[in-house]
Amino acid sequence: MRASYKWLAEYLDLADLSPAELADRLTSAGLAVDAVEPLNRGVERVVIGKILEVRPHPQADRLKICQVDVGGGERLEIVCGAPNAAAGLVVPVALPGARLPGGVEIRIAEFRGVSSHGMLCSADELGIETRYLPKRDVEGLLILPEDLPLGEDVVPHLHLDDVVFDLDLTPNRSDCLSIRGLVHELSAILRRPHRFPASVPGPRASGECPIQVRLETPRCPRYEAQVLEGIAVRETPLWMKMRLLAMGVRSIDLVVDVTNYVMLEWGQPLHAFDADAIAQGTIVVRQAREGERLVTLDGQERALTPDMIVIADPEKAIGLAGVMGGENSEITPSTRRIALESARFDGASIRRTGQALSLRSEAQQRFEKGVDPAAVSNALHRATVLLVQLAGSHPVGPPRRVPAEADALKPTVISFSPQACARFLGVDVPEDEMYACFESLGFGVARGEDEWRVEVPTRRSDVQLPADLYEEVARLYGYHHIPATSMRLPVEAPESSDDLKLVRKVRRALVDWGLCEVRTYALTSPEAEAPVAPSGVAVPLLRPMSDDRRTLRRHLLPSLAEVARYNLAHQVSGGAIFEVGKAFLAASWPQDALPEERAVLGMLWFGEREGNPFERPRPFDFYDVKGVCDALLARLGIQAAYRVSHHAYLHPGRQASIEVGGVMVGTVGELHPDVGDRYEVGRAVYAEFDLGRLFPLASSEVRVQSIPRHPASRRDLAVVVPLGVESQALVDEARRTLSERGVLRMVRVFDVYTGVGVPEGQKSLAIALWFQRDERTMTDAEIDDAVEAVLRAWEAAFGAKLRS
């Protein structure tokens, strides 16, 4: 919220307070001022002048020589290149020795043989924020009203001698989104009376209002309309234009500028319709119909829903209530009659409409936070008076009000205990001081012995509870009066669960092995998860902040791939990342129960691993990742088996499920090339563990074995088996066969071969077996017997034959 110092000073005596001091007082009372910005950014010795004569420059086609009257009978010859320079215009003139924003100093200069005694200025050259000015005021010279006195300093006439406060208001202080609210606030802070009118009488009007109003929705409890005709003047006066600029609102035309001016002054949004565009002279406030469409003032066609409030006539919608008007009722240069609207709309409905249509306006901001019911009629009267004064209009009949009689504006009455307030604040505030705080805020107070009854006016809708009154006392009495106290409470370290200990253990291990932990959003979109095709349905958010974050994630791969894609796009050659996060699974939605929250460890290796003197850079592969999975399982004391898996998002033949006792606890595999391309990560390897299944299997016991005193013996076997036989099955069968003998220490597959010398439909597996006893060295006969037992078991179970 921006606020003009000069505008505030019209209603309050601020002569003894500089803008900086006033900003400090506001901030100390809870209304934070982020910046104090003077509108004059270095303009000196710039006066008002009138162009008397313009002739072309003899040596330059784009330059003109202007004779300029700067008052006091002084005429200057100034060379100008502005396309709109013409005789009779009143413009800002920078005299020799003048200074402009950016440290520019004006001197007598020569342009192609002609001396220029100054400079004619545009709005941009004076440091004015041109984005808030109409197009005609930013193209070429800034044209001033003809009645300004020549030779006088342009700064006060352009209202550049003002200072703007940039206020960072908390959401509950919607009353301060207006000059009226800030004046009341400053009056309470400074304990000074203000001159802001309590009400505005409407202008006298004879006859009957030609507009009828029907309310067909409970979301509009109050609607008022005033018809005016005869718009004689279209140009917004300079003072209003510059005041809107100071408040950060763009000037459009006189009618729209008046409605914006009154909104900033009273906090009540208004809208003006072309009265002749309203069919049958009837305004209908209703909910939009299914499939109804409206072209708004920005030229966009909007698809409306029944949750939106529209202003309509019996034939069509003509505006989105509280958000934006319709193009079919827009004020144009040919408009002769206008209908001014002032109303109260349901704030939640206005907020939903703006979010659904991606619209944001000053009016919407005020409606969604809540407007003062007492301002509805007063703002309408104020705008009518201004249009009568500035545009030469006259009202046609009194305002049409629905309901005809305004609801009694009952103040909120709160019971207040001075003793409870003092205990709550921790400081003894005198009761007379509390009374003075409420009185300065305009609150009515009926004092009792133990309890007071405080009446809060409708403009302060944020004050509803005794605690709100305590806050008002603290703010106005001064936070600096409240002593700082140190909280001394016994603090005990929370007990850590076994799962949290295991999570910390996993994190430490992965970081030690070169992985980087990341934290990503638990929110995603169905489009981002489509390549993974996770099970279940996506759980949507009720009010998503963006389209990319509108559902709960069902898989960690899209989140990790987003991190990988960002790094690869920023010239990172590759890396390994992991996250311990939640995946949310639901068989259907909506459902009675909340979605299942699955704790998951996700890991992703992308790009290339760094080279070293002995190895060139190369892409990460399946076995890099499997090694980390094996090490992690060993760290947790878990022995797992790898089985063939068939996940569509992983590369066929380069993936496996990780099982413990027949229960799948994880997955590892290279991404399918199509999935890698969809996520823009190329060749990458992904692994995940379901921590809910993994952690119950983990062991915290540390087993120590003495170093074997007797050597182990290795036997390498090459067997031919059908292609469909998993190597893990042979490893498991060997362990089962020799489990009672206790001599098999390790089994490892070290080669797989198909091709010449191996029958079609079969493959050769090379498997190493290590044999060892603790008490003595094994004999060759014992080892041969164990090998024979394994070969017989393999042949019986899989048809395995020793490769010759």
Return the closest-CA partner of residue 284 out of 323, 327, 319.
319
Q: Which two tokens stand for residue 123?
A: 């709005």
Burial of 353 (C-beta count, 10 Å sphere; 0-12/13-18/19+): buried
Report the alpha-carbon distance of residue 324 to residue 728 in Å, rounded: 68
- Rounded CA-CA distance 628/513 in Å is 8
Contact between 748 and 768 (Cβ < 8 Å): yes
What does R_g of the chain's alpha carbons equal in angstroms? 40
**Residue-wise over 322-344: b if at least 16 C-beta within 10 A, else e?**
bbbbbbbbbbeeebebbbbbbbb
CB 394 within 8 A of CB 229: yes
Question: Regarding beta strands 650-660 and 663-671, do their DSSP bridges make them parallel or antiparallel, or are they unpaired?
Answer: antiparallel
CB 186 within 8 A of CB 431: no
> Is 774 a known ligand-binding residue?
no
What is the distance between the alpha carbons of residues 175 and 375, in angstroms, rounded to a whole number?
11
Query: What gap in Å lies between CA 514 and CA 646, rounded to an integer?
Result: 29
Crossing angle of the two packed helices 466-477 and 431-440, in degrees rounded to 10:
100
**Buried/exposed code over 639-658 (b: 16+ C-beta within 10 A; e: otherwise):** ebbbeebebebbbeeebbbb
Segments in 291-417 forming alpha helices (H) = 347-357, 362-369, 375-391
Q: Are 287 and 308 in contact (CB under 8 A)?
A: yes
Packing angle of the helix pair 727-737, 780-798 (nearest 10 deg): 130
Q: How far apart are CA 223 and CA 227, in angstroms?
A: 14
Can you tell me whether residue 683 is helix, strand or coil? Answer: coil
Q: Are 350 and 311 in contact (CB under 8 A)?
A: no
**Locus of tokens 């009949």:** 397
Spatial neighbors of 194 by CB under 8 A, at least 6 apart, are: 11, 12, 183, 184, 186, 187
471 assigned to a ligand binding site: yes
Closest CA to 382 of 202, 593, 590: 202
| Whether the bond into 590 is cis, omega within 30 of 0 | yes
Residues in the chain: 804
Of 254, 260, 251, 259, whose CA–CA distance to 137 is shortest? 251
Q: Give the H or E element holding residue 612.
A: none
Residue type, 735: R
Q: Can you state the percent helix, strand and coil of the chain, rounding each to 5?
A: 30, 30, 40
List C-alpha distances in Å: 186 to 196, 431, 476, 534.
12, 22, 10, 58
233 three-class SS: coil
Look up tokens 């939106």; give the residue: 308
Cβ neighbours, 10 Å, residue 409: 11
229 is in an annotated binding site: no
Q: Quote the tokens at residue 256.
A: 């729209």
Kindly give the pairing relationship between strand 2-4 and strand 163-168: antiparallel
Distances (CA, A) of 412 to 354, 458, 462, 502, 537: 30, 7, 10, 55, 48
CA distance 520 to 138: 46
Write down the H helix ranges in 580-699.
Answer: 622-635, 673-678, 691-694
- Tell me whether residue 175 is annotated as binding: no
Are 354 and 282 contacting, i.e. CB atoms less than 8 angstroms apart? no
Annotated binding site: 462, 468, 471-472
Annotated binding site for Mg(2+): 462, 468, 471-472
